[in-house]
Amino acid sequence: MSTMSFNDQAVKKLLNAKLVKPSSAFYNIQPYDGGMSISSIDTRRMIKLSVLCDSVDGVVDNKSEYFIPIKKLNLFSYPGSYRLKFNEDHILVNIKSDVGKKSAKIRRKNMRQYMFDNFKIFDEVEPVSIDSDVLRTILKNLSASAQIKETKTDADMKKNKIQFYGQASVAISDATYYGTFCYHDDIKFDISISSADVPIVMGFCDISEGPIEMYDAKTHFMCKNSNEDTLLITKVVTERSELFEIEDEYEHVIEIDLAMLKDAVKWAIESIDGTQRVKFKFDGNVIEMLSSGSMISSLYTMTDSKPFDVDLPIQIVSNIIHNIKGKTIKFKYKNKSTPTIVEINGDKDDEVQTRYFISAMLQR
């Protein structure tokens, strides 16, 4: 038996195991010399987090496992200093804080749970490294067109994905009618991530500081951070798409105040019923937004344009502009090679340069 002391900030890290909802409805806790780990496993993914203790009394049984139900994890969300006593049939949790003391007993459940342990498959894989904040920004921007909510089945996961292309330092998410390109010098690798896995990889970035090492084996994808936390994902085998580029050559380029556009788009979404189709009508320094032929919102632009109009899905436009930082955006239309493409992008001084594309909807 052993007793470990933890501060509340360290213990709260256990709550990040919620990134993967365990299929068994139980988390796995294992004490080790100097701390404990918590693992959560579903049908395709596993996360394992390590928490260092402030002190330890007694002999630690490194082979012991404690399976705790999902709801019991919230016991580690309270402020105060923690003492965890690992007994043969339970974990005794004691918390001492400025407002008093708390105590709970987590009974040990005997069960068998599959734990991935074949990490030898990564022995021949050369890891690639990227800063966790940079990776999170890239994934956040790409999520605008990654169709995350729509990716549920194996067939969806084969089709909807994010792909990194090291030779061009670009990552791409490409849906049927819209897509996103992110450029950064640290993209020096070729990796594909299913859209369904984007939120959990972003969550792993949130709990990491500094670089993340990524291992891309034939059947599995793994991320590790400086704290030796591990995220493991079973890959969905799919073919990589060929890299393609869209030249930055347009007939119309209009600069728009970002705050004004967000306000106008928000109004449009809240005021229309049914269809998400909105006509953007440009003329001089004015944009009008029309739904079913009626004007619902308008705003002034920072640059004049020749008259033109284009139909766009308003929710996709909203998703895009809320990813953009800065004060202005550029709205571009009638690409030289692909005339029906609309491009929206922000200031060039963003750390991750991002180009958002929408295919204009056919005119009624």
Alpha-carbon separation of residue 156 from 102, 131, 232, 237, 281 (angstroms)? 46, 29, 20, 12, 35
- Take residue 109 and report the two structure tokens written for it: 């459940």
Looking at the structure, do residues 85 and 16 belong to the same domain, yes or no?
A: yes
Residues in the chain, total = 364
Q: Inform me whether the pLDDT recorded for 109 exceeds 80.
A: no
Question: Can you list the positions of beta strands (E) in 155-210?
Answer: 161-165, 170-174, 178-183, 192-194
Tell me what the mean pLDDT of segment 83-111 comes to: 91
Instruction: Judge residue 252's burial from the number of C-beta atoms within 10 Å of its C-beta, 0-12 exposed, 13-18 middle, 19 or more buried.
Output: middle
Domain with 330, as residue range(s), is 250-359
Residue 114 — pLDDT band, cuts 50, 70, 90? low
Looking at the structure, do residues 191 and 97 belong to the same domain, yes or no?
A: no
Angle at 254 between CA 308 and CA 305, to 5 degrees: 45
Looking at the structure, do residues 140 and 191 belong to the same domain, yes or no?
A: yes
Q: Inform me whether the pLDDT recorded for 117 exceeds 80.
A: no
Q: Inform me whether the pLDDT recorded for 112 exceeds 70.
A: no
Residue 256 falls inside a structural domain: yes
- Take residue 350 and report the two structure tokens written for it: 């963003």
The number of domains in the chain is 3
Looking at the structure, do residues 91 and 173 belong to the same domain, yes or no?
A: no
Q: Inform me whether the pLDDT recorded for 176 exceeds 80.
A: no
Q: Which residue has the higher pLDDT, 126 or 1?
A: 126
Looking at the structure, do residues 255 and 222 belong to the same domain, yes or no?
A: no
Residue 68 falls inside a structural domain: yes
164 C-beta neighbours (distance < 10 Å), count: 26
Mean confidence (pLDDT) of the chain? 91
Looking at the structure, do residues 77 and 132 belong to the same domain, yes or no?
A: no
Tell me what the mean pLDDT of segment 315-340 comes to: 91
Domain end call among 87, 107, 127: 107
Domain end call among 234, 263, 290: 234
Residue 333 — pLDDT band, cuts 50, 70, 90? very high
Looking at the structure, do residues 157 and 258 belong to the same domain, yes or no?
A: no
pLDDT of residue 97: 93
Closest of 347, 284, 272 to residue 312, by C-alpha: 272
pLDDT of residue 120: 78
Residue 242 falls inside a structural domain: no
Residue 245 falls inside a structural domain: no
Q: What is the CATH number of the domain that holds 298?
A: 3.10.150.10
pLDDT of residue 116: 65
pLDDT of residue 364: 42
Closest of 260, 252, 262 to residue 299, by C-alpha: 260
Distance CA 117, CA 106 (A): 26
Q: Say what percent of the chain tops pLDDT 70.
A: 96
Task: State the helix-helix crossing angle for 198-206 and 132-142, rounded to 10 degrees.
Answer: 150
Q: Inform me whether the pLDDT recorded for 20 exceeds 70.
A: yes
Sign of dihedral through CA atoms 284, 289, 290, 296?
Answer: negative
Whether 97 contacts 196, CB under 8 Å: no
Whether 279 contacts 289, CB under 8 Å: yes
